[in-house]
Amino acid sequence: MTQYILRRVLQSIPLLFIISFILFNFTNALGDPMAVFAETRNRPSARDREIIMKRLGLDRPLLEQYLIWLVGNDWMPPIEIPTDDGGVRYEQGRRRGVLRGDLGLSFVTRRPSWTRIEERLPWTLVLMIPSYVITVVLAIGIGIFSAVRQYSFWDNLITSLSFFFYSMPIFFIALLSIYIFAVQFRRWGLEPIKWGGTGDGSFGSLLQHMVLPVFCLVAIQLAGYVRFIRSSMLEVLNQDYIRTARAKGLGEPTVVRRHAFKNAALPLVTLIGLDLPFLLAGAVVTERIFAWPGMGRLFIESFERADAPVIMAILMVLSVAVVVFQLLTDIVYTWLDPRIRYS
Amino acid sequence: MSLKNRVRLALALALSLVMALAGFGVAAPSYAQDSSTLVVGFAQEPDNMNGFYSAMAFAQWANDLVQASLYDFSDDLQPVPVLIAEIPTRENGGISEDFKEYTVKLKSGLKWSDGTPLTAEDFVFTYEMVKNPANNMIQGSNIRDALESVELVDETTFRLKFNVAKPFPEDLIGSPGLSTILPAHVFRPIFERDGTLENAEENQDPTVFSGPYVLREWKRGESMLFEANPNYVFGEPKIKRVLIRFFPDTDSQYAALAAGQLDFVPNVSEGDIPRVAASNPNLKLVTVFGGYIESLWLNLQEEGKGPRAGHPALKDVRVRRALRLAIDRETITRELLAGATSPTDSIYAGSPFEDKSLGVTPYDPEAAAALLDEAGWVVGADGIRAKDGVKMELRYSTTTAGWRNNIQAVIQQQLAKVGVSVILEKYPASEYFGTYANKGIVASGQYDIGQFANNTALTNPANVTVDEALSCAQIVSEDNPGGNNWTGFCSPEMDAASLVTKTSLDPEERLAAAYKIQQIMRDEAPLINLFPRGDNYAYNTARFVGEIRIGSGVGNQWFDIMNWELK
């Protein structure tokens, strides 16, 4: 097992290099960080812009930029920067590169990209983990119910409802819920649900502010999981060993829980393992609408400003998370199903 | 361990992780929306709290709340002395006869928020920092280029010497020319340690302030909390706290405004004014002079110099004038922008230097058609004009802003009526305004008509759009990739007049040159001005005592905030 894990970790290293190289190319084709100066009044002069480009290393070939991103430029010859009097001054690069733990400074705030992620990641998890847990728990309950009572009135109702929410755009549900629970509630003289940001710092306020975004996230995610669990349960319920279990006189709850769900749960673990790393990515639209200070918003805001170092940092964190969670999923498999062995 | 126990363990772990993460928020101070706290909604989060390191409007606005300038401009564009005792002029001896030397006198007894005296030394330090290339500031290039020396005269007086005559003191000592003053006692040690201020923590989390408020807490991605500064030059403001909350989504920002969760919102888009006003009867919408004009820029670039050349028809001034006649700007401003603004032809629109006698070109599709016929572009069988086998099909692009795309669609219909076909394109701003080296859409000429904003004149007749974006020397090309003129327009006559507006020491002569520029622009039509863009604010009258005064886009929206009062 240890050997297996070690092999997987070693395999992931070249994989991460390839991913990072591809992402670096995409990220740097996103736009121009200098574009923010158009349409402003105190535009930096052409020379100042040239200096900014040089200092950020954006005037170099992409392959060289990638190299600097990997191993930094503090060991390279100093950067030549034109001065007002037509001469040059030299400035030693300060970047240490990703391989030495430096994800680079944000073009926009000049703060380390990692600091920006550190500020946002906890808030994203505070939002995403509860909504994910609620989604999965509800989905298991509803999915099993729906499978056991296949084609009943409730199954049909749940199926229709889940398709209804599944096909609704998140921004619509989000804005609608704000209008109903915050704006209209106030007009009707009811206590409006608080939303927008994370509250005034108390735990109670945080919970209140989580109600609407969590509701929206659960509403759009739930359907997919319910359908998945329902079909995977139905498959198992038609197996011979279920009939055997019933035949030997076991109660229906025991049959469903012990024999059916346990076996139907394995594909669910795969699905969760694939989804978990993306909890780190946050929810772009939900976070924007509810003014939640999460990763999704950081990503989109960095994207709008063509802040390549931050975008790269986010994407790399996600890439590493995907690789790690894939490995964890495989390990959890052996834990849940002793028949599975890796060598 | 049985499966049940394993699942229980996993759930317990997940739950405790959530609880631990939730604990992050608990330590922060709390604030309520009451008579002591003004809640402001910003669509974007400031990127830097040192004004010299940001080109972002929202950063400037947050900065204006905490850093005082020497002098501001009021809502009616009148100078308001803040830290300065008297605005220097040639008459009061503050400006030398040749306009190359300013002597600036501060009010006495000024203090930073931490109680340290704010003296001329802080100004000398600030100018030295701006001048020093090691700081790599993105603002202040006008000061950097012109300033020869700065000297301390006494505790409340300093003297600036320039290498050329500088007739407009506001560009160098007023706001927005110099909107930030650096506390020397804070930044000097940083500069001595690092050799640059560029990466100072203080830029992101400032601790010492000169403005009406001090920054108490910045919850990244969420809010900034400001508290009244008792050492402010005009005394402690009546409103004790200002909370700026970030609402990146306009719809949810308007919902918060409608629900009364926000008291004050800058930057309401013109097209949204009617629905914001209708959402809550207590909301008042105010438009102040913004200093920008929305325009259609025409690609007049020549073939073979690097950027793509625009459609050949645009080279003919008759075609450019015809396009201006064919667009019903009146309907656009009335229907799409709620009448918040009206059409203009002047690149000085709204400023005191606008030549109103030139009037505004009316909407006249017949005249447009006649001009196009005269220029040889005649309607073909498919209803589209053509000349020598070239069809009049123009690429018309702008950013992804929704209100701009609405205008695009209307103009497309209007131009179709005179036989001009346009293909609509839209790009993210970071791609659209990219530099020539980065193949930015406009800079590299990938457009025939480009819609974006330019600057009008502000407090003096020097017009940055004319000076940079329309001058011969600034035409972007393979040889001049940093050029700011992305249209390729060149008029030596206009450049000469522009130089006069910048450097003449005679106000009459400057004004005459500004009028000349407006006339050339009207006749040559290198771009089609659509309308001036004001700064639109919404505020909740139920929360304020009386009407509030909001500063214009020239200076500082908060110039009068010390007099604002909440119920």
Q: Does A186 lie at the interface with B, CB-CB under 8 angstroms?
A: yes
Q: Does A288 lie at the interface with B, CB-CB under 8 angstroms?
A: yes
Strand residues in B192-345 grouped as ranges (E): 213-219, 223-228, 241-246, 264-265, 283-298
Rounded alpha-carbon distances, angstroms, from residue B361 to A73, A305, B531: 56, 37, 12
- At residue B16 the predicted structure's pLDDT band, cuts being 50, 70 and 90, is low
Closest Cβ–Cβ partner in B6, B204, B258 for A109: B204
Residues of A in contact with B23 (CB under 8 A): 203
Calculate mean pLDDT across residues B44-69.
Answer: 93
Name residues whose C-beta falls within 8 Å of residue B395's C-beta, 6 or more positions apart in sequence: B311, B422, B423, B425, B446, B447, B448, B449
- Per the model's pLDDT, the better-predicted residue between B424 and A150 turns out to be B424
Instruction: Render pLDDT for A193-249 as a digit per residue (tens, 0 to 9).
Output: 888 889 888 888 999 999 999 999 999 899 889 989 999 999 999 899 999 988 988
Q: Does B428 lie at the interface with A, CB-CB under 8 angstroms?
A: yes
Instruction: Render pLDDT for B254-303 as a digit per residue (tens, 0 to 9).
Output: 999 998 899 999 999 888 998 899 999 999 999 998 889 999 999 999 99
Please state which of the ranges A128-142, A183-197, A315-329 shows the lowest mean pLDDT: A183-197
**Closest chain A residue to the Cα of B476, Cα to Cα:** A46
Calculate mean pLDDT across residues B448-475.
Answer: 92
| Through-space distance between the first and last CA atoms of chain A, rounded to whole angstroms | 7
Whether the CB-CB separation of B558 and B237 falls below 8 Å is answered with: no
* pLDDT number for residue B9: 61
Question: Taking 70 as the threshold, does the pLDDT of residue B107 lie above it?
Answer: yes
Tell me the two tokens of residue B198: 């560029």
* pLDDT number for residue B13: 63
Q: Does A243 lie at the interface with B, CB-CB under 8 angstroms?
A: no
In sequence order, the β-bridge partners of residue B396 are: B424, B449
Whole-angstrom distance, CA of residue A27 vs CA of residue B132: 33
In sequence order, the β-bridge partners of residue B264 are: B40, B539
Indicate the burial class of B138 (C-beta count within 10 angstroms; 0-12, 13-18, 19 or more).
buried
Residues of A in contact with B437 (CB under 8 A): 53, 59
CA-wise closest residue to A46 among B443, B527, B418: B443
Q: Would you call A335 and B219 a contact, using CB atoms and an 8 Å cutoff? A: no
Closest Cβ–Cβ partner in B6, B247, B261 for A335: B6
Whole-angstrom distance, CA of residue A43 vs CA of residue A317: 34
| Residue to substitute from B3, B5, B438, interface A, most A β-carbons within 10 A | B438
Tell me the two tokens of residue A333: 């498999």
Shortest alpha-carbon distance between residue A103 and chain B (Å):
16
Residue at token pair 């109600």: A211
In sequence order, the β-bridge partners of residue B242 are: B38, B226
Q: For chain A, positions 87-126, list CB contacts with chain B under 8 A.
A: 89, 105, 108-111, 116, 119-120, 122-123, 125-126
Residues of A in contact with B452 (CB under 8 A): 38-39
Tell me the two tokens of residue B225: 């909390």
Whole-angstrom distance, CA of residue B346 vs CA of residue B330: 15
Closest Cβ–Cβ partner in A41, A129, A294 for B14: A129
Q: Would you call A288 and B438 a contact, using CB atoms and an 8 Å cutoff? A: no
Question: Taking 70 as the threshold, does the pLDDT of residue B19 lie above it?
Answer: no
- Per the model's pLDDT, the better-predicted residue between B195 and B25 turns out to be B195
Instruction: Render pLDDT for A267-323 as a digit per residue (tens, 0 to 9).
Output: 888 888 888 888 988 889 999 999 999 999 999 999 988 899 999 999 999 999 999
**Cα B459 from chain centroid?**
15
Closest Cβ–Cβ partner in B138, B221, B437 for A52: B138
CA-wise closest residue to B522 among B331, B352, B325: B325
Closest Cβ–Cβ partner in B18, B220, B440 for A32: B440
Whole-angstrom distance, CA of residue A178 vs CA of residue B256: 9
Question: Taking 60 as the threshold, does the pLDDT of residue B22 lie above it?
Answer: no
- Per the model's pLDDT, the better-predicted residue between B458 and B162 turns out to be B162
Shortest alpha-carbon distance between residue A151 and chain B (Å):
31
Question: Taking 80 as the threshold, does the pLDDT of residue A52 lie above it?
Answer: yes
Q: Does A50 lie at the interface with B, CB-CB under 8 angstroms?
A: yes
Whole-angstrom distance, CA of residue B257 vs CA of residue B267: 13
Closest Cβ–Cβ partner in A43, A183, A200 for B255: A183
Q: Is A309 helix (H, G, I), strand (E, B) or coil?
A: helix
* pLDDT number for residue A330: 85
Whole-angstrom distance, CA of residue B311 vs CA of residue B450: 12
Q: Which domains does chain B have, with CATH numbers?
A: 3-47+202-289+535-563 (3.40.190.10), 68-199 (3.90.76.10), 291-534 (3.10.105.10)
Position A293: which residue type? P
Instruction: Render pLDDT for A113-125 as a digit per residue (tens, 0 to 9).
Output: 999 999 999 999 9
Cβ-based neighbour number of residue B513 at 10 Å: 24
> Taking every pair of C-alpha atoms in chain A, what is the biggest distance, in angstroms?
95
Q: Does B13 lie at the interface with A, CB-CB under 8 angstroms?
A: no
Instruction: Render pLDDT for B209-222 as a digit per residue (tens, 0 to 9).
Output: 999 999 999 999 99
Q: Does B12 lie at the interface with A, CB-CB under 8 angstroms?
A: no
Q: Is B454 helix (H, G, I), strand (E, B) or coil?
A: strand
CA-wise closest residue to B41 among B236, B207, B193, B268: B268
ipTM of the predicted assembly exceeds 0.90 = no
Q: Would you call B452 and A39 a contact, using CB atoms and an 8 Å cutoff? A: yes
Rounded alpha-carbon distances, angstroms, from residue A49 to A52, A82, A279, B137, B288: 5, 11, 38, 11, 31
Whole-angstrom distance, CA of residue A193 vs CA of residue A185: 8
Question: Taking 60 as the threshold, does the pLDDT of residue B3 lie above it?
Answer: no
Whole-angstrom distance, CA of residue A215 vs CA of residue A235: 30
Whole-angstrom distance, CA of residue B107 vs CA of residue B111: 10
Q: Would you call B249 and A126 a contact, using CB atoms and an 8 Å cutoff? A: no
Tell me the two tokens of residue B209: 């302030």
**Cα dihedral A130, A134, A135, A141 in deg (nearest 10):** 160
Residue at token pair 């990466």: B199
* pLDDT number for residue B8: 61
A-B Cβ pairs (cutoff 8 Å, strict): 218
Question: Taking 80 as the threshold, does the pLDDT of residue B247 lie above it?
Answer: yes
Whether the CB-CB separation of B107 and B156 falls below 8 Å is answered with: yes
Tell me the two tokens of residue B427: 């790009």
Indicate the burial class of B517 (C-beta count within 10 angstroms; 0-12, 13-18, 19 or more).
buried
Calculate mean pLDDT across residues A114-139.
Answer: 94
Indicate the burial class of A284 (C-beta count within 10 angstroms; 0-12, 13-18, 19 or more).
middle
Q: Is B381 helix (H, G, I), strand (E, B) or coil?
A: coil
Shortest alpha-carbon distance between residue B336 and chain A (Å):
21
| Through-space distance between the first and last CA atoms of chain B, rounded to whole angstroms | 63
Whole-angstrom distance, CA of residue A74 vs CA of residue A97: 9
Instruction: Render pLDDT for A22-47 as a digit per residue (tens, 0 to 9).
Output: 999 999 888 888 887 877 777 777 88
Going by their DSSP bridges, the two strands B449-455 and B393-399 should be labelled as: parallel
* pLDDT number for residue A158: 86
Residues of B in contact with A294 (CB under 8 A): 221
Whole-angstrom distance, CA of residue B62 vs CA of residue A343: 59
Instruction: Render pLDDT for B315-327 as a digit per residue (tens, 0 to 9).
Output: 999 999 999 999 9
Shortest alpha-carbon distance between residue A73 and chain B (Å):
17
**Cα dihedral B244, B254, B556, B347 in deg (nearest 10):** 150
Question: Taking 90 as the threshold, does the pLDDT of residue B121 lie above it?
Answer: yes
Mean pLDDT across chain B, nearest whole number?
92
Q: Does B400 lie at the interface with A, CB-CB under 8 angstroms?
A: no
Q: Would you call B430 and A33 a contact, using CB atoms and an 8 Å cutoff? A: yes
| Residue to substitute from B141, B175, B197, B217, interface A, most A β-carbons within 10 A | B141
Tell me the two tokens of residue B553: 């886009």
Instruction: Render pLDDT for B355-404 as a digit per residue (tens, 0 to 9).
Output: 999 999 999 999 999 999 999 999 999 999 999 999 999 999 999 988 99
Residues of A in contact with B25 (CB under 8 A): 126, 198-199, 201-203, 206
Closest Cβ–Cβ partner in A49, A83, A130 for B435: A49
Backbone Cα Rg of chain A: 26
Q: Domain ranges in chain A?
A: 19-100, 113-336
- The residue count of chain B comes to 567
Instruction: Render pLDDT for B489-518 as a digit per residue (tens, 0 to 9).
Output: 999 999 999 999 999 999 999 999 999 999
Name residues whose C-beta falls within 8 Å of residue B490's C-beta, 6 or more positions apart in sequence: B471, B472, B475
Question: Taking 60 as the threshold, does the pLDDT of residue B23 lie above it?
Answer: no
Between vectors from CA B119 to CA B115 and to CA B124, what angle results, nearest 5°?
A: 135
Position A97: which residue type? G
Closest Cβ–Cβ partner in B14, B31, B145 for A200: B31
Q: Is B265 left (phi over 0), alpha (psi -120 to 50) or beta?
A: beta
Whether the CB-CB separation of B454 and B465 falls below 8 Å is answered with: yes
Cis before B176 (ω within 30): yes
Shortest alpha-carbon distance between residue A127 and chain B (Å):
9
CA-wise closest residue to B320 among B150, B528, B152: B528
Mean pLDDT across chain A, nearest whole number?
89
Whole-angstrom distance, CA of residue B205 vs CA of residue B208: 10
Task: Give, for B19, the enclosing helix (H) or strand (E).
Answer: helix B3-22
In sequence order, the β-bridge partners of residue B161 are: B101, B149
Q: Would you call A44 and B252 a contact, using CB atoms and an 8 Å cutoff? A: no
Q: Does B19 lie at the interface with A, CB-CB under 8 angstroms?
A: no
Whether the CB-CB separation of B422 and B298 falls below 8 Å is answered with: no
Residues of A in contact with B48 (CB under 8 A): 109-110
Whole-angstrom distance, CA of residue B368 vs CA of residue B322: 4
**Cα B169 from chain centroid?**
20
Whole-angstrom distance, CA of residue A25 vs CA of residue A250: 60
Position A296: which residue type? G
Q: Under CATH, domain A113-336 is a member of which superfamily?
A: MetI-like (1.10.3720.10)
Going by their DSSP bridges, the two strands B213-219 and B223-228 should be labelled as: antiparallel
